[in-house]
Amino acid sequence: MSVVAVATASRRSRARTVTLVLFAAVLVMSALSLAVGAYSVSLPDLLATLVGQGDSKNEFIILRLRLPRLTMAVLVGLAFALAGALFQSLLGNPLASPDLIGITTGASASAVFAILVLGLSGFAVSGFAFAGALVVASTIYLLSWRSGIAGYRFVLVGVGIAFMVQSTLGYLLTRADVRDAQGALVWMVGSLSGTLWAEVAVAAISIGILIPVVVLLAPQLRMLQLGDDTARGLGVRVNVARVLLLGVAVALAACATAAVGPIAFVAFVAGPIARRLVPGISLVPSALIGVLLVVTADFASQHLLPGGTQVPVGIITGAIGAPYLLWLLATRRSRGEA
Amino acid sequence: MSRRVLGLVLLAAGVVGVVLISLAFGTRQIEFPVVVDAILAPDPTNNDHAVVRDLRVPRTVIGLLAGAALAVAGGIMQGLTRNPLADPGLLGVNAGASLFVVLGITFLGITAASGYVWFAFAGAAAATVLVYAVGAGRGGNPTPVTLTLAGAAVTAVITSVITLVLLQNLDTLNQYRFWSVGSLVGRELSTVTVVIPFLVIGFVLAAIVARMLNVLALGEDVARGLGQNIVLARVLAAVAIVLLCGGATSISGPIVFVGLVVPHIVRRFTGPDYRWILAYSFLLGAILLVLADVIGRLVVQPTELEAGIVVAFLGAPVMIALVRRSKVGAL
């Protein structure tokens, strides 16, 4: 075997191990968040309930209260992480994640407008959030287009738009009643509390449509990584492929934000963490890290603070995701890595 | 007279112009001679005079100081980190100041802006040290990418903590939301006098640091070869940034765009010499913020838009235009 083949094989086996470990961790955390709470359920009871053999009390608590919340956490973790990883690898810049370049902020501003000015709630707010993300993303795309898309230009334009959107948000918050502003703030942080099956269904359908598209486009992404000229040589229509992939990433971020609010930092950290575990682009590990992050954070958000105080999950993802990235940056071995 | 000196004179004239505009225009119509009287021969019983002296003068002074400070701080940051995205907002300095102000409001019951000042300084300093330490990593050498990442990460941590405090505490949210949009209104001149000495030291340091930044721009190895003390240059620059950002943030709130956009615009006229970049930024930053405040007063009468919001809407298109025109990655 050649050196390259050996390296590829060892990367594959490493990727497989990492994926399995992450998957196991997700399972453990899911079981924990289903079983543990103000009313805790034993593991046999939990399994019995999940296969439909539990008593009515367990059934209500697990299937009606905890399972929808967990499912939502899994869905949005997956969507945010994939969106972030796609953005970062397409634009070749770790800063190009939808939460830093204003796309989720656009969703927030639009949703907060719906909450505070139009007095809407529920699915209408989600619709506004989705539209806001799309409008901001296409604005950034159009403004940064100059016979092609360059990662640096995209990030800079995105940062500019993000500032503008952020100040609009600030304006909306100062003009509202302070209690409404607090409600809007909870949405802006991202919260999973009180998730209903109906909401899960909407998120599941929309994200479920997008995942196969990502799988279909993944080979093109891998070729784009080799550089535009090489990809073109391999028969990829570079600009079309990039627009499609970016479009899918925006839609993923928009769906997740519409469902639960812009949970901080998941899109930003999942990719870099995955890259540290498995070199190169690795969508599956990124997605699993996103899921693990949101599920763990949601569990912590319910049980971490004494006295049963619950905080929105976005606070926790910021508080655990960001220090991890700080640590990662501070302990990196050489310059330019990370 | 060289072209660059001429530009400086024009900018100085511009500063005088916006000051006059800022004093003369507002929600309340006041004749220009009355404005002049209010400054030169104030009559305590005249309401128009009171409006000019108690409302328009303070916000004009604050706009000048905060705008100049933020623009110079942004210029220093861009030179220090050799990072075109460097901005007090993006590198987490404003967030640090905000966090400490929020903690001060919540746990120590600070309500006066003169009390915010100290918290803003402490927060700006803490965030600068943290971002720099994280960005430097084990190798001790921060790169633009790692610094910007560190800034974003620190900002995210701090935003989480701020939001946690705001969600638990309605009164703090109420104060914070008005402070955080970047308003020049409702501050008294007494607050400004507390801040002025710090800003002056910051500006003096900036003038000293400018030449060092020129040497640093050649790359570390060349700078060391030319006998530049790199550690000294970085420490002085960092102190200047903390004083300028902390001071500006405490009087005007966390206004983000001035530090990013002004040095970018200025560089097109001055070239890469930081002595000129910082001098131009000083004046253009003041003009930009005061002008933004005037526009905010006039566009949505009878209410007002906060200066920070206007700056964002003026600055973003300018920045995007600059980004589109410049070569990718060029500073």
- Residues B253-311 pLDDT 10s: 888 788 888 998 898 888 888 999 999 999 999 999 999 999 988 887 777 888 888 98
Task: Measure A296 CA to nearest chain B CA, in Å.
Answer: 16
Residue of chain A with shortest Cα separation from B134: A330
Would you say B157 and A322 are in contact if contact means Cβ atoms under 8 Å apart?
yes
Taking an 8 Å cut-off on Cβ atoms, the answer to whether A336 and B141 are in contact is no
A315 chain-B contacts, CB cut-off 8 A: 160, 163-164, 167
Specify the higher pLDDT residue, A246 or A280: A246
Condensed to tens digits (0 to 9), the pLDDT of residues B59-74 reads 899 999 999 999 999 9
Residues of chain B contacting A182 with CB distance shorter than 8 Å: 166-167, 170, 173
CB A116, CB A134: distance < 8 Å: no
Indicate the residue of A159, A265, A323 with minimum beta-carbon distance to B85: A159
* C-beta separation of B101 from B173 below 8 A: no
Written as six digits, the tokens of B18 are 């916006």
End-to-end CA distance of chain A: 31
Q: Is the pLDDT of residue A48 over 70?
A: yes
Question: What's the pLDDT at A292?
Answer: 93
Chain B residue whose CA is closest to A309: B168
Segment A69-83 shows an average pLDDT of 93
Mean pLDDT of B17-44: 82
Higher pLDDT, A229 or B278: B278
Please compute the mean of the pLDDT values over residues A22-50 and round it to a whole number.
87
Among B52-56, B275-279, B310-314, the least confident range: B52-56
Confidence of residue B331 (pLDDT cuts 50, 70, 90): very low
What is the pLDDT, as a whole number, of residue B144? Answer: 64
Burial of A186 (0-12, 13-18, 19+ CB in 10 A): middle
Count CB pairs under 8 A between chains A and B: 159
A330 touches chain B (CB under 8 A): yes
B329 CB neighbours in chain A (<8 A) are: 152
> Burial code of A30-65, b = ≥16 C-beta within 10 A, e = fewer?
beebbbebeeebeeebbebbbeeebeeebeebbbee
Q: What is the pLDDT of residue B285?
A: 94
Work out the minimum CA distance from A57 to partner chain B, whole angstroms. Answer: 32
Query: How far apart (Å, rounded) are the C-alpha atoms in residues B124 and B239?
Result: 10
For residues A300 and A113, what is the distance between their CA atoms, to the nearest angstrom?
30
**Smallest Cβ distance to A318: which of B134, B157, B315?**
B157
Q: Which of residues 268-297 of A touch B (CB under 8 A)?
A: 268
Q: For chain B, give the percent of residues with pLDDT over 70.
A: 93
For residue B46, is pLDDT > 90? no
Q: Which whole-number Å values give the CA distances from B319 to A197, B163, B265, B271, B298, in the listed order?
A: 44, 29, 8, 17, 24
Looking at residues A68-87, what average pLDDT do you find?
93
Task: Name the residue with higher pLDDT: B204 or B48.
Answer: B204
Whole-angstrom Cα distance, residue B33 to residue B25? 13
CA A61 to chain centre: 27
Number of Cβ atoms within 10 Å of the Cβ of B4: 15
The CA distance from B35 to the nearest CA of chain A, in Å, is: 30
Q: Residues in chain A, how many? A: 338
DSSP classification of residue B303 = S
Dihedral sign computed on CA atoms, order A277, A281, A287, A288? negative
Nearest-by-Cβ selection for A167 from B161, B309, B319:
B309
**Which residues from chain A sit within 8 angstroms of residue B134, using beta carbons?**
326, 329-330
Q: With CB atoms and an 8 Å threshold, state whether A181 touches B173.
A: yes
CB contact under 8 A, B164 and A314: no
Estimate to the nearest angstrom the gap between the alpha carbon of A93 and the chain centroid: 17
Domain ranges of chain B: 3-324
Residue of B163, B171, B265, B303 to mutate, testing the A interface (most A Cβ within 10 Å of its Cβ): B163
Q: Give the closest of A152, A167, A316 to B308, CB-based.
A: A167
Helices of type H across B109-169: 113-136, 144-168
User: How large a percentage of chain A has pLDDT more than 70?
Assistant: 93
pLDDT at A210 over 60: yes
Which residue of A150, A185, A335 is in closest CB contact with B167? A185
pLDDT tens for A251-264 read 999 889 888 888 87
Residue A183, chain B, CB below 8 Å: the answer is no
**Other beta carbons less than 10 A from residue A3's beta carbon:** 7
Residues sharing a CB contact under 8 Å with residue A164, sequence separation 6 or more, in sequence order: A102, B312, B313, B316
Query: Residue A149: is its pLDDT beyond 90?
Result: no
In one-letter notation, the amino acid at residue A241 is A
* pLDDT of B52: 81
> pLDDT higher for A260 or A2?
A260
Q: Report the pLDDT value the prediction gives residue A334, as an integer from 0 to 100.
A: 43
CA distance A133 to A103: 5
> In order of start, what are the domains of chain A with their CATH numbers?
11-330 (1.10.3470.10)
Could you write out the three-class secondary structure of chain A? CCHHHHHHHHHHHHHHHHHHHHHHHHHHHHHHHHHCCCCCCCHHHHHHHHCCCCCHHHHHHHHHHHHHHHHHHHHHHHHHHHHHHHHHHHHCCCCCCCCCCCHHHHHHHHHHHHHHCCCCCCHHHHHHHHHHHHHHHHHHHHHHCCCCCCHHHHHHHHHHHHHHHHHHHHHHHHHCCHHHHHHHHHHHHCCCCCCCHHHHHHHHHHHHHHHHHHHHHHHHHHHHCCCHHHHHHCCCCHHHHHHHHHHHHHHHHHHHHHHHCCCCCHHHHHHHHHHHHCCCCCHHHHHHHHHHHHHHHHHHHHHCCHHHCCCCHHHHHHHHHHHHHHHHHHCCCCCCCC
Question: Cα-flanking dihedrals φ and ψ of residue B306, to 5°?
Answer: -70, 150
Nearest CB to B181; choose among A164, A167, A325: A167
Which of B162, B177, B179, B331 is the mutation pick for testing A, counting most A CBs within 10 A?
B177
- Residue A166 scores a pLDDT above 90: no
Model confidence, pTM? 0.80
Residue labelled with tokens 């497989």: A16
B2 compared with B279, residue with greater pLDDT: B279
- The helices-and-strands tally (H runs, E runs) of chain B is 14, 0
- Where does the pLDDT of residue A337 fall: very low under 50, low under 70, confident under 90, or very high at 90 and above? very low
Please give the Cα distance from B149 to A330 (Å, whole number): 11
- A314 and chain B in contact, CB less than 8 A: yes
Helix axes A197-224, A123-144, angle to 10 degrees: 20
Q: Phi first, then psi: give them for residue B149, nearest 5 degrees.
A: -60, -45
Mean pLDDT of chain B, nearest integer: 83
Q: Calculate what percentage of chain A has a pLDDT beyond 90.
A: 16
CB contact under 8 A, B170 and A333: no
Write the pLDDT tens digit of every residue in B88-145. 877 888 889 889 988 888 888 777 767 777 888 899 999 988 888 887 776 666 666 6
Residue B176, min C-alpha distance to chain A (Å): 9
For residue B88, say if its preceding peptide bond is cis, omega within 30 degrees of 0.
Answer: no
Identify the top-confidence range among A155-164, A224-233, B285-294: B285-294
- CA-wise closest residue to A108 among A130, A124, A84, A123: A130
Residue among B134, B160, B181 whose CB faces A315 most closely: B160
CATH hierarchy code of domain B3-324: 1.10.3470.10
Greatest mean pLDDT among A176-180, A295-299, A324-328 lies in A295-299
Highest mean pLDDT among A24-38, A178-192, B29-43, B177-191: A24-38
pLDDT above 60: residue B328: no
Contacts with A316 from chain B: Cβ below 8 Å: 160
Confidence check: pLDDT of A174 > 70: yes
A148 — contact with chain B (CB < 8 Å)? no
pLDDT tens digits, residue range A261-309?
888 788 888 888 888 888 776 888 999 999 999 999 999 888 877 666 7
A181 close to B (CB below 8 A): yes
